[in-house]
Amino acid sequence: MNILYVASEATPFAASGGLADVSGSLPAAVNKKGHDCRVVIPLYKNMKPDLRASLTPLTSITVDVAWRKQYCGILTTIYNGVVYYFIDNEYYFGRDGMYGFYDDCERFTFFSRAVLEMLRYIDFKPDIIHANDWQTALISVYYQTLYRYQQGFDNIKNLFTIHNIQYQGKYGTEVVNEIMGIPMYHSDLLMYDDCVNMMKGAFEAADRISTVSPSYAHEILDPWYAYGLDRILINKQYKLSGILNGIDTNIYDPEKDPLIPANFKAGSHVKGKKICKEKLLADLGLCEGDEPVVGIVTRFVAHKGLDLIKYIFEEMVDRGFKFAVIGNGEKIFEDFFEEMARRYPDRVSVTIGFVPETARKIYAGADMFLMPSQNEPCGLAQMIAMRYGTVPIVRETGGLRDSVKDCGGENGNGFTFKTYNAHDMLNACLRAQALYNDKKEWKKLVDFVMKCDFSWESSSEKYIELYKSLLGS
**What CATH number matches the domain at 270-453, 3.40.50.2000, 3.40.50.300, 3.40.50.150, 3.40.30.10?**
3.40.50.2000
Contact call for residues 362 and 326 (beta carbons, < 8 A)? yes
CA–CA dist 192, 108 (Å, integer): 19
CA–CA dist 452, 454 (Å, integer): 6
String of DSSP letters for 178-221: III---GGGGGGTEETTEEEHHHHHHHH-SEEEES-HHHHHHTT
Q: Which residues contact 18 (CB under 8 A, 6 or more apart)?
A: 163, 212, 245, 378, 379, 380
2-246+457-470: which CATH topology? Rossmann fold (3.40.50)
String of DSSP letters for 122-139: SS---SEEEEESGGGTHH
pLDDT (0 to 100) of residue 439: 93
What is the block-wise mean pLDDT of the chain (473 residues), using blocks of 10 residues? 97 90 95 97 95 96 94 97 97 94 97 97 96 98 95 95 96 95 94 97 97 96 95 96 94 94 91 95 94 96 95 96 96 97 97 92 97 95 96 97 91 95 97 96 95 92 96 84
Q: Which residues contact 403 (CB under 8 A, 6 or more apart)?
A: 213, 244, 379, 382, 383, 454
pLDDT (0 to 100) of residue 95: 95
- Angle subtended at Cα 143 by Cα 162 and Cα 8, rounded to the nearest 5 degrees: 40
Q: Which pTM does this prediction carry?
A: 0.93
pLDDT (0 to 100) of residue 458: 85
pLDDT (0 to 100) of residue 170: 97
Is 2-246+457-470's fold the same as 270-453's?
yes
Runs of H (alpha helix) within 344-438? 356-365, 381-387, 398-403, 422-436
Domain boundaries of the chain, sorted by first residue? 2-246+457-470, 270-453
CB-side neighbour CA atoms (13 Å) of 124: 23
